[in-house]
Chain A
Amino acid sequence: MDYDFASYLRDLRTIGPELILCGTILVLFLVDLWRIGRNRTISWVLAPLVTFAACYGLYLVPATTGIDVDLWPEFLGLTAVYAVVTVADLRWRGRDRWVPGAVAVIGAALACLRLWQQGVEVFGEGAAAFSWGGLVRVDAFGVLLRGLACLTLLVTSWFTIFYAPMRRDPGAKGVTEFLACLAAAAAGGMFLVATENLLFIYLSLELLSLCSYLQVGMLKGDRRSSEASLKYLIYGSVASGFMLFGFSLLYGFSGELAIPKIGQFLQTMPRHSPEGVLMTVGVLLSFSGFAYKLTLVPFHFWAPDVYEGAPTPTTAFLSVGSKAVSFGIMLRFLHMLTGDIVWAPGLVHLAALAAVVTMTYGNLAALHQSNLKRLFGYSSIAHAGYMLLGVVTVFQFMEDPATGLLREGRFFGEGYAAVLFYLGAYLLMNLGAFGAVIFLANRTGSEEIEDIRGLGWKSPWVGGAFIVFLLSLTGIPPTAGFFAKWYVFRAAIDGGFLWLAVVAGINTVISLFYYFRIGRMLFLRDGSEAFFEAPRAPWLAAVLLLLAFGTLWFGVFPGAAREVAAEAARSLGW
Chain B
Amino acid sequence: MSAEILAFLVLATATVAGGVVTLWSRYVVHSAFGLMLSLLGVAGFYVLLGSDFLAVTQVVVYVGGVVVLYLFGVMLTPPDREERSIRRIAVAGIFAVAALVVLLKAVFGMEGRWYGVDPDRGPASGGAVIREVGNAFMDKEAYLLPFEIASVLLLVALVGAVFIARREGGRGS
Interface residues of A (CB under 8 A from B): 7-8, 11, 15, 22, 25, 29, 132-136, 169, 171-172, 174, 177, 180-181, 184, 187-188, 191, 199-200, 203-204, 206-207, 210-211, 214-215, 217-218, 220-221, 229, 251-256, 265, 273-275, 277-278, 281
Identify the B interface with A (CB < 8 A). Answer: 102-103, 105-110, 113, 115-117, 139-146, 149-150, 152-153, 155-157, 159-161, 163-164, 168-173
| Closest partner residue, chain A, to B166 (CB atom) | A220
Contact of B140 among A7, A169, A265, A278 (CB under 8 A): A7
Contact of B115 among A132, A184, A275 (CB under 8 A): A275
Find chain A residues with CB under 8 A from B161 CB: 214
Q: How far is the CA of A234 from the CA of B110 in the complex (A)?
A: 35
Closest to A225 in B: B164
One of B103, B155, B157, B159 near A278 (C-beta < 8 A): B103
Also in contact, A210 and B145, with CB within 8 A (given A133-B139, A255-B115, A275-B115): no
CA distance A207 to B103 in the complex (A): 30
CB atoms of A253 and B115 under 8 A apart: yes
B163 close to A174 (CB less than 8 A)? yes
For the complex formed, measure the closest distance between the CB of A336 and the CB atoms of chain B, giving whole angstroms. 16
Q: Which of B102, B153, B164 contacts A217 (CB 8 A)?
A: B164
* Closest Cβ neighbor of B156 among chain A residues: A184
Q: How far is the CB of A284 from chain B (nearest CB, A)?
A: 11
CA distance A274 to B113 in the complex (A): 10
Smallest distance from the beta carbon of A4 to chain B beta carbons, Å? 9
Closest residue of chain B to A269 (Cβ to Cβ) is B115
Q: A274, B168: Cβ atoms under 8 Å?
A: no
Name B's interface SS: helix
A203 surroundings in chain B (CB, below 8 A): 146, 149-150, 153
A22-B149, A134-B141 known; 10 new pairs, CB 8 Å cut-off, are A25-B155, A169-B172, A172-B171, A172-B173, A177-B159, A177-B163, A200-B145, A207-B149, A220-B168, A274-B105
Q: List 26 A-B contacts (CB under 8 A).
A: A8-B140, A22-B149, A132-B140, A132-B144, A133-B140, A135-B145, A169-B173, A174-B170, A180-B156, A181-B156, A188-B153, A191-B149, A203-B146, A204-B149, A207-B152, A211-B156, A211-B160, A214-B157, A214-B164, A217-B164, A253-B115, A255-B115, A265-B115, A274-B106, A275-B115, A277-B105
A25 to B110 CA separation, bound complex (whole angstroms) = 48
Closest-by-CB residue of A relative to B110 is A274
In the bound complex, what is the Cα–Cα distance between A229 and B160 (angstroms)? 12
Is A253 a contact partner of B116 (Cβ separation < 8 A)?
yes
| One of B103, B109, B115, B141 near A133 (C-beta < 8 A) | B141
| CA A251 to CA B115, docked complex, whole Å | 9
Chain A contacts of B144 at CB under 8 A?
Answer: 132
C-alpha gap A210/B142 in the complex (Å): 24
- Residue contact A274 to B149, C-beta cutoff 8 Å: no
Give Cα distance in the complex from A163 to B152, angstroms: 26
Closest B residue to A169 by beta carbon equals B172
